[in-house]
Amino acid sequence: METRQKVHHLIILDESGSMNSIREPIIGTFNEIVLSTKECAKDFPEQEHFVTFVTFNSGGIKSYLNLAPLEKFEIITGRNYRPSAATPLFDAVGRSINGLRYELRSEKDYKVLVSILTDGFENASREFSGRDIVNLQDELRKSGNWTITYSGADHDVEAAASSMDIRNFSRFEKSAAGLNEYRRRERTAKLNWLRKIRENEDTNDGYYNGIS
């Protein structure tokens, strides 16, 4: 039996209080990502997709899925997405990535797409600093297996991403039109990324390149 290429999706969703102002649009955007990820995967039957999904605020980092098959990835609602408290962004990124990296320590042939979705700056981390995340990025980039993306609104997204050495970033507007445009770009970028895996191309950076 032919071995399928393993592809992991790590989704880190901000659930801090500032997300309340766009709770419903974010729920819609996230759910579109759920559906489009499943649709995109159908075009690459030689790949086997898994999902790890966490939300975060200063009340804690909640894990909903861990290395689950893609079909277990479900939409969210206002009942299980309730923004509150502050934003420990560095802790959420560091802990989530290190946790998945530990789980994959014995694996050799795999790819990981990390998707960070937030609307604000770090303001509550205690375990990880920006420098820690930069160092982590250096290690991951050398492996060639990880692609880290950062999507945000209402702040200087490029500066925030750059502070963690994240080179794949996208800004979205807090409006129906802005979120629709973000969904379109994200779907296109994901298809391109999966194609690069199929064709054994470099996937470290350039996730959003060439997408207007």
DSSP string, the chain: -PPPEEEEEEEEEE-SGGGGGGHHHHHHHHHHHHHHHHHHHHT-TTEEEEEEEEEEETTEEEEEEEEEEGGG-----TTT----S---HHHHHHHHHHHHHHHTTT--SEEEEEEEEESS-----SS--HHHHHHHHHHHHHHT-EEEEEEESSS-HHHHHHTTT--EEEE--SSHHHHHHHHHHHHHHHHHHHHHHHTT---SS-TTTT--
Number of independent structural domains in the chain: 1
pLDDT of residue 172: 83
Report if residue 206 sits inside a domain.
no
Exposure b/e, 197-210, CB count within 10 A at least 16 = b: beeeeebbebbbee
Report if residue 12 sits inside a domain.
yes
pLDDT of residue 155: 83
- For 59-118, the pLDDT digits (tens) are 999 999 999 999 999 999 999 999 999 999 999 999 999 999 999 999 989 999 999 999
Report if residue 161 sits inside a domain.
yes
pLDDT of residue 25: 81
Report if residue 14 sits inside a domain.
yes
Residues in the chain: 212
- The band of 180, judged by pLDDT with boundaries at 50, 70 and 90, is confident
More confident residue, 192 or 121: 192
More confident residue, 139 or 176: 139
Range of the domain at 54: 5-198
Enter the pTM of the model: 0.95
pLDDT at 1 over 60: no
Q: Are 54 and 11 in contact (CB under 8 A)?
A: yes
Please report, for residues 78, 83, 119, 190, 194, the alpha-carbon distance to residue 23 in angstroms, rounded to integers and kept in the order given.
8, 8, 11, 24, 29
pLDDT of residue 28: 83
- The band of 154, judged by pLDDT with boundaries at 50, 70 and 90, is confident
Report if residue 159 sits inside a domain.
yes
Cα 60 from Cα 196, distance rounded (Å) = 35
pLDDT of residue 7: 98
Report if residue 164 sits inside a domain.
yes
pLDDT of residue 8: 98
- For 42-76, the pLDDT digits (tens) are 999 999 999 999 999 999 999 999 999 999 999 99
Q: Domain holding 44: CATH number?
A: 3.40.50.410
